[in-house]
Amino acid sequence: MSSSPSDPFSTGRPIDHVGVAVDDLDAASAPYRALGLAPLADEVVEGQGVHVRAFQAGDSLIELLAAARPDSPIARFLERRGPGLHHVAFRSQDLDTDIAALQAAGARFVDPTPRPGRAGTRAVFLHPSWGEGVLIELVEHV
């Protein structure tokens, strides 16, 4: 078995963050503060139309995602389903290689072109139909 960090079938790929769709960052922060997690600085990711508040949880983050504009994907998600788990993000050491490997394996992307994410990251989303109902993100820290 390969242990390459860019091997999409490796067992060692860490979870970078879990994204949670929320109506209000402050109200939604309460449970995480009560759990003893401290928020990092809020950030707006313009390309995704979200306000992000991240809480450090070990080596991973909980990212609360509020709509920054009414036509953003998060706004549509909240309209359809209300607040709750939105996506799981795995870390990529080499996003372009991972994308090529997943495309070769027949994976379906929301959009295979990497976009800017929080904190200077690059990210792509795999389609929930490919993720068995889960929106999966790959994120590369550059």
Indicate whether 137 belongs to the interface with Co ion (CB under 5 A).
yes
Q: Site for Co ion (CB under 5 A): how many residues?
A: 3
Indicate whether 114 belongs to the interface with Co ion (CB under 5 A).
no
Contact range with Co ion by CB under 5 A, out of 40-48, 68-76, 82-90, 124-132: 82-90
Indicate whether 95 belongs to the interface with Co ion (CB under 5 A).
no
Contact 58, 125 (CB under 8 A): no
Q: How far apart are CB 30 and Co ion at their closest, in Å?
A: 21
Which one, of 16, 60, 54, 11, lies nearest residue 32 by Cα? 54
Between 19 and 49, whose beta carbon lies closer to Co ion? 19
**Which amino acid is present at 100?**
A
What separation in angstroms does the CA of 25 have from each of 5, 43, 61, 67, 136?
33, 11, 15, 10, 22
User: Tokens 């993720």 correspond to what residue?
Assistant: 131
Interface pick for Co ion out of 20, 61, 74, 89 (rule CB under 5 A): 89
Q: Which residue ranges make up the site for Co ion (CB under 5 A)?
A: 19, 89, 137
